[in-house]
Structure 1
Amino acid sequence: MGERLETYGHDGLTFDVRDSGPEGGAVVIALHGFPQTSASWGPVTQHLTAAGVRVLAPDQRGYSRGARPYAVSAYALRSLVGDVLALADAAGAERFDLLGHDWGGAVAWAVAAAHPDRVRTLTVASTPHPRALVAAMLHGQALRSWYIGAFQLPVLPELLLGSPRVAGPLLARMRTPDPAAVLALLADRSTARALLNWYRAAWRPLLGRTATPFPRVRVPTTYVWGALDPALGRWAAEHTGLCVEADYRFVVLEDAGHWIPDERPAELARLVLERLGGSAPDPGDLP
Structure 2
Amino acid sequence: MFTTVRGRSVIVTGASKGIGKGIARTFAREGADVLIAGRNESALQAAAEDLAAQAQGRVETAVADVSRVDDCRGLAATALERFGAIDVLCANAGIFPDKPLGELTEADVDEVLGTNLKGTMFSVQACLDALTASGRGRVVVTSSITGPITGYPGWSHYGASKAGQLGFLRTAAIELAPRKITINAIMPGNIATEGLHDMGQDYIDGMEAAIPQHRLGSVDDIGHAALFFASDEAGYITGQTLVVDGGQVLPESPAALEGI
TM-score normalised by structure 1 residue count:
0.38
Query: Larger relative CO (CA 8 A, sep 6+): 1 or 2?
Result: 1
